[in-house]
Amino acid sequence: MAFRPNFRQQRSDRDKASRSRQDEKLQKMHERSAKRKAERESQGLPPEDAPAPADEPKE
């Protein structure tokens, strides 16, 4: 006699795989962001989230 499919376990396995893929993508995104920030700091540029300095005050 064959086993009945366990849909809850299958769904759990799919969700676990999905979360794993999302975590990998998020980790890669953070690594690329850290790399860009390190490159900007080595060039002496201001951080990306800092406001750009104004050349002349607007009146």
Q: What is the mean pLDDT of residues 33-55?
A: 79
Nearest CA among 41, 37, 18 for reference residue 29: 37
Q: What are 6-43's pLDDT values in tens digits?
A: 999 999 999 999 999 999 999 999 999 999 999 988 88
pTM for the model stands at 0.60
